[in-house]
Structure 1
Amino acid sequence: MGNYKLVALDMDGTLLNEQSEISKENAEWIQRALDAGITVSFSTGRGFRGALPFAEQLKLETPMITVNGSEIWQKPHVLHKRTLLSPVYIKQLHELALRHEGTWFWAYSTNGIYNLEKWIDPSTTYEDHHWLKFGYYTEDDVVRGRILQEVTEWDALEITNSSPQNLELNAKGITKASAIRELCSMLGIEMSQVVAAGDSLNDIAAIREAGLGVAMGNAQQAVKDAADVVTLTNNENGVAEIIKQYVLKG
């Protein structure tokens, strides 16, 4: 067995297949890792509510990283740390979305998800909510590029994506990597003992900093370029392959 103590797994496009399911093979090898004393943690852009059913399916009682690192859970339902995104920026990001008609947008708060169809109640203010992340989705590359350029010029937010068609904004300095560093402190291990796997730009920081950074076969090219190794796709049980080949080898 290798010297890895923590496996941090992205969910969509990594652990989950295109039907948003955990394959039998992935579940089996995650259990084998757990049985061997390895900590297996979700490291996802999803909010807690979106990740929880899969943690329950795998019977995980391990830490979880949600909303790209804005929330770190000691175990399901036990919050360790939360980093909020200023309502000032949420207001600016919302106004920017409205200036680009046809762009889908969403925002995670601690009490739910708001989006183009269901935005905050007009009787409330941005300050009445505790914000975690904002996102844009558009298949128009030009529009996405304009939004990216403007937000980049603010130099105030962490900018990533979870698919080539979207942009995700977190508080500056908040990434899956920053959250994994916090997990390492909690667990008493080093980043060199971490395997981080993912497919999108919100995984790059973690992939670069981990002892072993793994890009899925279906990952964006920039993620593959940043990774130490590239494994099988999310539809080919890539997570099982990572654990088999690198974590429990020998």
Structure 2
Amino acid sequence: MSIPAVSVTDLFVSYHGKPALDNISFTINPGTRVGIIGPNGAGKSTLLKSILGLIPKDHGEVRLLGQPVKEVRTRVAYVAQRSEIDFTFPITVLDTVLLGTYPGLSWLRRARRSHKEWAFECLTKVGMADFARRQIGELSGGQQQRVFLARALAQKAEIFCLDEPFVGIDASSEEAIIELLQEQQQSGKTILIVHHDLSKTEEYFDELVLLNAGLIAAGPVQEVFQPEMMMKAYAAQLSFFKRKE
């Protein structure tokens, strides 16, 4: 039996004494594309950040690739919500991708030619090579997300974690990004995506983690994406739910 890509056990996270995640437990196998879904305020982004060790947990255990997060951090790529990124920062598209090429790259440590060539190759994969010298803030939302995906590709990560990557981007960029993620999955990578558009759920994911502070369900899409499960999670926020035929 293979080691889970992600293992979460009895995870509890609170803000100012109020529970945000209440005893969450689930596992994700390698090579799986997983959607983290739930209503607004359900704790989706909190779960992703706690998995990555970006916010403290009250108790519980998270293991990635069978190890504590700090031991495998360089093998995990994270694409934050665009609203959390300072697009006024004076950095080019190519330099943004270079940051993913190897741990510890900074302005005081020059990238080698091989790093720059690999970063440019990753930009080519996402269709952004022509924008390499642009400042990141000059791009559209969809273009920015492609660049951040290129940075994740440059990291050669085994787990990709994306927080609401399709918010505020055009349809063509969304299609291109999901195709690239599918390619990564086919090569054995594990993909976790915080997602809100229920209409794309069955098309985009193999498995789901359905939250509303507590865990409602986790597992294959066919089992989790059911009316009774969705109503339990969304309650009054979901006026109707109809599965595709």
Superposition TM-score, scaled by structure 1 size: 0.33
Which structure exhibits the higher relative contact order, with contacts defined as CA atoms closer than 8 Å and separated by 6 or more residues?
Answer: 2
